[in-house]
Structure 1
Amino acid sequence: MIRGWARNWGATSAEVTRTYPADNYLAGPVERLTRAVTVRAPAPVAYRWLCQTAVAPYSYDWIDHWGRRSPRILTPGAEKLAAGQQLMVFTLVDIEPGHQFSGRSFPAAERLFGPLAGTYAIEPLDDQNCRLICRLVLGSGRFGATLLAWGDFVMMRRQLLNLKGLAERDARTLAGFGAMTELTP
């Protein structure tokens, strides 16, 4: 059983109990982990940065990206996600542009981590703020699931905080120019 911060970091009780698409991708007993941050940026800006995970991991680059720095500017076209596309350790299954994308682990990732599924979502709070939420679903009953949960906590925390910082930076920059529609998917 995974407990404490490794299970849920930054998530409200409503976010933890909510059902996400990834909750339905694995059969049998599972562990559900929820991580979340508040982003002081409009949802379209945060979602566009979330789509950047198609380009780089945005966690600890020296571990996850072979020492190369994740881009600090938006990559054109990265927001055009498609079912079947591989993203991090997932093959995308469900995409709701501007709101969420979900996937299930592909075979090479499953050999390393076991079966996984995940949903990344942006939930608007108001016109200028949103929540960035990740639900990770792991096949339970395996010792590796507990290790993965703690390792993921460290890496995902860094990823969400990096994406939050970049979205907030761009929101401050774009707000003065009225250019928010440029980032809308």
Structure 2
Amino acid sequence: MSGHRVALGSAVLTTAAVTLALHGLVLRPRMLTWGATSDEVSRVYPGDDLIPEADSSSTMATTLPAPPEQVWPWLVQMGGDRGGWYSWDRLDHMGEPSADVIVPEWQSLEEGQRLNAAPDGQSWFAVALQEPGRTLVLRANLELPSGHSFDARSTPLPRAYMDGIWGFHLQPAPGDTTRLVVRTRGLSRPRPFTRPFDLLFGEPAHFIMQTRQFHNLRTRLSPAP
């Protein structure tokens, strides 16, 4: 009987090791660079220098069926208290549908402006950098584990926190289309606590939400039949 338990335990450990190796060597690299070319992954983008010592990063990309000047209005009106995030609304917009039209009153942004990420206003993205029609970089400073935002310029750093950017970079592409590259960079502490969270939840969640946003932006920008 003990021999069976040893064999079962060995099989479980082997399966776990193979699964982790498969995720680390094959699935995770593809997830973090989904849709992006090697040149797009290696390129330096505006806003990267905001977190020079990032311990996590991703570069994902898609081609949208409209020129940058038509894509920009959809990006600039993002926000939980504005047009939503065009992703899984049940998860990041309290079930309220993201905007499916351009709303004039949401067509202005200022650097430093807060865009609510949660309805209670306790977590937000701040506009860190923008170049209309080309670049929009949002930044979030979150206390952990509450997930509440804090202003890093005026508040001492919490014992556990995450500092991250979410950057949207637009480039004209052939056929009046747009290459949209989304770069994330993050720094979190204490790393022994945040590293497993990134691997098991943060990175997969970003992949799921970002690919959905790509899909919904393409749908909104596609010509009417």
TM-score by length of 2: 0.68
- Point out which structure has higher relative CO (alpha carbons under 8 A, 6+ apart): 1
Q: Deviations over 1:94-151 (max 9, x none)?
A: 1101111113213458953722112111111146111111101122642222221111
Give 5+ residue unaligned stretches, structure 2: 1-23, 118-123, 148-160
Match of 1:73 in 2: 101
Q: Aligned letter for 1:161?
A: H
What is aligned with 1:144?
197
Letter in 1 for 2:70: V
State the identity %: 29
Q: How many pairs align? A: 171
Q: How far apart are the structure 1 equivalents of 2:51 and 2:169?
A: 19
Which position in structure 1 is the counterpart of 2:219?
165
Computing the radius of gyration over CA atoms, which structure comes out larger, 1 or 2? 2
1:1-185 equivalence runs, <5 A: 3-54=28-79, 55=82, 56-87=84-115, 88=117, 89-107=124-142, 112=147, 114-126=162-174, 128-139=176-187, 141=191, 142-146=195-199, 147-169=201-223
The amino acid across from 1:11 in the alignment is: A
Q: Tell me the SS of whatever aligns to 1:73.
A: coil
Distance change (3 Å), C-alpha of 1:29 and 1:57: closer
TM-score w.r.t. the length of structure 1 is 0.81
Rounded to whole Å, the distance in 2 between the matches of 1:103 and 1:127 is 29
Residue 141 of structure 2 contacts residue 162 of structure 2 at CA under 8 Å; is this kept in 1?
no
Greater Cα shift, 111-120 or 30-39: 111-120
Structure 1 unaligned regions, length at least 5: 174-185
State the one-letter code of the partner of 1:148.
G
Give the RMSD, CA atoms, in angstroms: 2.4
1:46-90 Cα deviation digits (max 9, x unpaired): 111222323211100111111111111111132311101123442
Alpha-carbon separation, structure 1, partners of 2:196 and 2:50: 21
Partner of 1:53, secondary structure, is: coil
SS in 2 for 1:77: helix
